[in-house]
Amino acid sequence: MKFSVSGFLLIMCLLCFAVNAEARREKVIVVVDAGHGGQDPGAKGRHSKEKDVNLAISKKFDKVVRKNSKDIKVVMIRRKDEYISLADRAGFANFVNANLFISIHSNASEQNPNAYGTEVYVHRQSSANSERLARIIANKLRTHARRNDKGVKKANFQVLRESTMPCALVEVGFISNRAEEDFISSKNGVRLIAESIYLAVAEYVYGYEPSEIKRSGKDKRMARKG
Ligand SMILES: [Zn+2]
């Protein structure tokens, strides 16, 4: 009798290990949505358009993740300047069974050209996981990219409403603010924002922040300059 119980426990342990190993092999799919595109430029700054800033940050995020994580796979809604409807963006994320959905946007304020900082949005009926994701993203943008954190907010954005997985929409900065437009459209700004979102996703997935970020030679030089 004693033997069969311990034998049973042993088999259960082995099964648990096998299941865990299998789960670890499965990649975490992060769908990244570069907001706007094509005939829809989004907000316009003095020298840049929101759709281009959003795409540059999304592409950089994909590169940073590729360099740093084998377990996380980035799937991009668009890789070029093209129009995709909001329904199709959310629908695509649902279709590929994404684990996370992150929409990248740049902010603008007509009333206040001095407004600056980041906002991370969740849907007003969001899950606790969406809120956790949003809070970590806001924190990393503050600590890693040294942005002014304007907080995690709720809104009824279609891409958030229709995506079925934990999701957040990141306003990376105000394109209507002269200094912030310069930052979010600069190579260094794009790198810092993309790295911040990578750090956030890694922390969300693993439960802790990676101890270092692997960088290309160019990025290393940029990071040294600050
Ligand atoms: Zn936008």
Distance 88 CA to ligand 1 centre (A): 16
Distance 212 CA to ligand 1 centre (A): 31
> How far apart are alpha carbons 155 and 134 in whole angstroms?
13
List Cβ neighbours of 161 (8 Å cut-off, separation of 6 or more). Answer: 90, 123
Among 52, 58, 56, 57, CA closest to 36: 52
Q: For domain 27-225, say whether CATH 3.40.630.40 is its number.
A: yes
Tens digits of pLDDT across the chain (226 residues):
455 656 655 666 555 555 555 555 589 999 999 999 999 999 999 999 999 999 999 999 999 999 999 999 999 999 999 999 999 999 999 999 999 999 999 999 999 999 999 999 999 999 999 999 999 999 999 999 999 999 999 999 999 999 999 999 999 999 999 999 999 999 999 999 999 999 999 999 999 999 999 999 999 999 998 6
Distance 2 CA to ligand 1 centre (A): 65
Distance 39 CA to ligand 1 centre (A): 13
Distance 34 CA to ligand 1 centre (A): 9
Question: What pLDDT is recorded for position 19?
Answer: 54
Question: What pLDDT is recorded for position 1?
Answer: 47
Distance 50 CA to ligand 1 centre (A): 7
What are 30-67's pLDDT values in tens digits? Answer: 999 999 999 999 999 999 999 999 999 999 999 999 99
Beta strands 100-107 and 72-76 are unpaired
Distance 16 CA to ligand 1 centre (A): 44
Distance 172 CA to ligand 1 centre (A): 10
Question: What pLDDT is recorded for position 26?
Answer: 84
- For the chain, domain boundaries: 27-225
> What is the residue type of 169?
L
Distance 35 CA to ligand 1 centre (A): 6
Counting every residue written for the chain, the total comes to: 226
Distance set, CA 22 to CA 13, 15, 25, 26, 27 (Å)? 14, 10, 5, 7, 10
Q: Position of tokens 């503050």? A: 142
Beta strands 28-34 and 100-107 are parallel
**8 Å CB contact between 178 and 46:** yes
> How far apart are alpha carbons 165 and 221 in whole angstroms?
37
DSSP string of 102-168, one letter each residue: EEEEEE--SS-TT---EEEEEETT--HHHHHHHHHHHHHHHHTS---EEEEEEE--HHHHH--SSEE
Distance 22 CA to ligand 1 centre (A): 38
Cα-Cα end-to-end distance for the chain: 66
